[in-house]
């Protein structure tokens, strides 16, 4: 039996959060349904952040209210603080994610707090998650490179990972927030984390700024990682991180793992349709690195049909 890879779709949140064209809740739900039809079963559907800071996420409660009620799908919400947690719980969210940037400069740029101040706040949120029966994930952001402080030492990532796991986070998403990691760096970091806590505790969140996302995903898979964040069409970026390009494209990772003998449960042709929905909603030309191959196959099929 093929080993399973879980791809957590972050296009609805990380992918859309900085898009200038507002996508209303109905559009976000249309995209969610297209992705569900393609086989995605884990989503970061929205974030309960300040609408003034991230207007695209102002309709988070409406999005969660409209998502299909299915036991086989996990819907996640990002929460920045206890107020965001309160709003998420009011909206019926059962899975929450927190983002801890592990350098002070990045954390100050992001939420105007030091790493220590954020960690204390998130410890309170994680305690409430345990009390409320809410599943929790902590992002360890800028785990590879900080746009302000440079390469992030492995020991720094280990220290804050330990802090979040000790506080009750059920797993950790290791984030290459600006897409500047290298294969050697990825191997060193992931092997260290897996050696301390086991691969099941970790997900990898990659950006494709330097065309390395698929390579890093493969390196991490060789170290035992089986959970990856990705965004349909490569949508995304971080509004607080200069130089951050789009996320790893869902279609690129799904195709790479499926063609290598892993099982993702995702229909690649269904993803092609979902990319079309995302393009129509955002007005952007989207698609991962597999897009040119897709187009060549479609042209070949059209020619054969003539």
CATH number for the domain spanning 281: value is 3.20.20.70
97-142 pLDDT per residue, tens: 999 999 999 988 877 889 999 999 999 999 999 999 999 999 999 9
The pLDDT of 220-249, averaged and rounded, is: 85
pLDDT at 240: 53
pLDDT at 111: 78
pLDDT at 242 over 60: no
Answer for the pair 76, 47: CB distance below 8 angstroms, yes or no.
Answer: no
Provide the residue range defining the domain that includes 131: 6-305
Answer for the pair 245, 189: CB distance below 8 angstroms, yes or no.
Answer: no
What is the value of pTM for the model shown? 0.95
Helices (H), 93-248: 104-111, 115-132, 154-167, 183-197, 213-222
| Domains held by the chain: number | 1
CA 36 to chain CA mean position, Å: 16
pLDDT at 172 over 70: yes
Answer for the pair 225, 199: CB distance below 8 angstroms, yes or no.
Answer: yes
For CA atoms 151, 154, 155, 159, give the dihedral sign. Answer: positive
**In this prediction, what percent of the chain has a pLDDT beyond 90?**
87
Name which residue leads in pLDDT, 294 or 100. Answer: 100
Beta bridge partners of 60: none
pLDDT at 67: 98
Residue tagged active-site, from 129, 146, 186, 238: 238
Query: Which residue from 252, 237, 290, 163 is spatially nearest to 13, judged by alpha carbons?
Result: 237
Question: Is there a domain that residue 169 lies in?
Answer: yes
pLDDT at 238 over 90: no
The pLDDT of 196-212, averaged and rounded, is: 96
Question: Is there a domain that residue 1 lies in?
Answer: no
With cut-offs at 50, 70 and 90, classify the pLDDT of residue 306: confident
Is 238 assigned a catalytic role?
yes
């Amino acid at each position: 039996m093929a080993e399973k890879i879980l791809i957590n779709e972050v296009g609805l949140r990380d992918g859309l959060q900085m898009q200038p064209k507002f996508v209303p809740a109905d559009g976000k739900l249309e995209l969610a349904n297209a992705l569900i039809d393609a086989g995605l079963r884990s989503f970061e559907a929205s974030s309960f952040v300040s609408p003034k800071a991230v207007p695209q996420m102002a309709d988070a409660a409406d999005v969660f209210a409209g998502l299909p009620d299915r036991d086989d799908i996990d819907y996640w919400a990002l929460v920045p603080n206890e107020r965001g947690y309160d709003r998420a719980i009011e909206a019926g969210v059962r899975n929450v994610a927190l983002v801890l940037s592990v350098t002070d400069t990045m954390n100050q740029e992001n939420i105007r707090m030091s790493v220590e101040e954020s960690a204390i706040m998130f410890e309170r949120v994680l305690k409430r998650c345990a009390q409320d029966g809410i599943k929790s994930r902590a992002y360890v952001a800028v785990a590879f490179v900080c746009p302000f402080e440079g390469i992030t030492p492995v020991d720094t990532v280990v220290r804050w990972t330990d802090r979040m796991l000790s506080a009750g986070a059920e797993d950790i998403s290791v984030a290459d927030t600006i897409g500047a990691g290298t294969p050697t760096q990825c191997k060193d970091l992931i092997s260290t984390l897996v050696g301390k806590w086991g691969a099941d505790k970790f997900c990898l969140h990659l950006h494709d700024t330097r065309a390395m996302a698929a390579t890093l995903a493969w390196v991490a898979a060789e170290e035992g990682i089986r959970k990856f964040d990705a965004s349909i069409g490569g949508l995304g970026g971080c509004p607080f991180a200069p130089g951050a390009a789009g996320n790893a494209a869902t279609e690129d990772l799904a195709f790479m793992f499926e063609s290598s003998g892993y099982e993702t449960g995702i229909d690649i042709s269904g993803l092609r349709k979902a990319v079309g929905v995302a393009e129509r909603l955002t007005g952007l030309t989207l698609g991962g690195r597999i897009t040119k191959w897709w187009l060549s196959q479609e042209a070949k099929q059209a020619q054969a049909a003539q």
